[in-house]
Amino acid sequence: MNYHTLAEHIPSLRRYAIALLHDRSRADDLVQDTLERAMKKFSLFVKDSDLRAWLFTIMHNIFINQLSRRREIADTDGQTAQHPSAQNVAEEMIVARDIMNALQQLTDEQRSIILLIGLEQLSYDEAARVLKLPVGTVMSRLARARERLHALLNDEAGPQLRRVK
């Protein structure tokens, strides 16, 4: 593997990271970290296995590690880690912002599952490998995540959307 093969996957890694983090500069940090680690660890990559799923696995691991580090910092600071605003992602559109908000209200895991499967179109097996969960668990959590997102968009976000006058 070289940067050529990796490079093909950068746009979709970025898409996932931006949707996951709701913050472009942190998303690009995450992509960069992922690429660097992938280059370093390439000897561990088993040829003929799925490069894309492997890259998502690396990204997910970095994301999880950062989360726990951020939580520690938040604990000592006595404040929760905030997602900085990301106007340039959400554009100025209120509707888009409401979907973003609904996504951000999911747990990190729910968001990962919905995005990996619904947006990045990973198979359930691939998603299970990325998230290190049994396939059955991925599927039941996917179901719960989608129900929750649906509820957020219709019950909670609904009145907000309709307030747009």
Partner 1 sequence: MSNTPVIRDEELHAYVDGRLKPQRHEEVKAYLAAHPDAAEKVRAYQQQNRMLHTLFDRVLHEPLPGRLENTPPAPQSRRLFRAAAVIALSLLTGGMGGFLLRGEVTHTVTVAEPFTGRAAVAHAVYTAEILHPVEVGAEQETHLVQWLSKRLGHQLRTPDFTSFGYQLVGGRLLPGDKGAAAQFMYQTSTGARLTLYVSVKDRGMEQTAFRVQEENGQQVLYWVDDNLGFALVGDKGRNQMLEMARVTYEAMSF
* Binding region for partner 1 (CB under 8 A): 3-4, 6-8, 10-12, 14-15, 18-19, 28, 31-32, 35, 91-96, 98-100, 114-115, 117-119, 121, 123-124, 139-140, 142-143, 146, 149-150, 153-154, 158, 161-162, 164-165
Q: 3-state DSSP call for residue 159?
A: helix
As a whole number of angstroms, the distance between CA 118 and CA 72 comes to 31
Angle (CA) 115-102-95 rounded to 5° is 105
**Closest separation in Å from C-beta 36 to partner 1:** 10
Total residue count of the chain as it appears in this document: 165
Nearest to residue 89, comparing CAs of 7, 20, 165, 12? Answer: 20
- If the CB atoms of residues 47 and 165 are measured against partner 1, the closer one turns out to be 165
**Closest separation in Å from C-beta 20 to partner 1:** 10
- If the CB atoms of residues 1 and 95 are measured against partner 1, the closer one turns out to be 95
